[in-house]
Amino acid sequence: MTSLPLLGSGRNADVFAIDSRRVLRRYRDDGDVAAEATIMAYVGELGFPVPKVYQADEADLVMERLDGPTMSQALIAGSLGIEAGGELLADLHRRLHELPPRLSPDSSVRILHLDLHPDNVILSQRGPVVIDWRNATEGPPDLDLALSALILAEVAVDEEHDLAAGRTRC
């Protein structure tokens, strides 16, 4: 356990404040963050918006602390419209899928996030930044789009979700 202030928790990890510029993301299942750190460094070097990684060690990832709400928070607050949010997600997918694969020699293969949805986009002062690269791999871009569509569809049919009302506006 850590004595650092807890900033948030997701399905698999907790995020703690280290200081004003860094956070610690610690996986609760002790997973290894090496692959996640590697893919984040790769896409970041190619200009894709990801948090800077300072250190990766076993289940701990020390990263840049981002300011701003998640895309979900902005959608719920009304500071980002549903249509603009959809365009932003589509643009992030397009930009990601324009990057060459890191490992595969197959020109049709691309970097896949496999969890790109509004909770994994921070609307920071430097623009949208994509977080949570744990599932990232290489493969066909359509798979990435399909998984995002499935995640968004699950929200749309959950009448208790704060964003479900937006399903009729798209």
Q: Which segments of 65-126 are extended strands (E)?
A: 110-112, 121-124
Q: Does domain 71-169 have CATH number 1.10.3470?
A: no
Question: What pLDDT tens digit does each residue of the chain (170 aa) get?
Answer: 578 999 988 888 999 999 999 999 999 887 789 999 999 999 999 999 999 999 999 999 999 999 999 999 999 999 999 999 999 999 999 999 999 999 999 999 999 999 999 999 999 999 999 999 999 999 999 999 999 999 998 877 656 655 555 545 44
What was the pLDDT predicted at 123? 98
pTM, 2 dp = 0.89
Q: Where in the chain is the domain with CATH 1.10.510?
A: 71-169
By CB atoms closer than 10 A (0-12, 13-18, 19+), residue 163 is middle
Q: Which two tokens stand for residue 13?
A: 């990890």
What was the pLDDT predicted at 30? 73
Give 74's Cβ-side CA count (13 Å radius): 23
Fold exhibited by the domain 6-64: Phosphorylase Kinase; domain 1 (3.30.200)
Which pairs from 135-140 meet CB under 8 Å and 24+ separation? 136/35, 136/36, 136/39, 136/40, 136/111, 136/112, 137/112, 138/101, 138/102, 138/103, 138/104, 138/109, 138/110, 138/111, 138/112, 139/109, 139/110, 139/112, 140/108, 140/109, 140/110, 140/112
C-alpha pair distances (Å), 45 with each of 50, 89, 127: 10, 21, 16
Contact residues for 19 (Cβ-Cβ < 8 A; gap 6+): 65
What was the pLDDT predicted at 135? 94
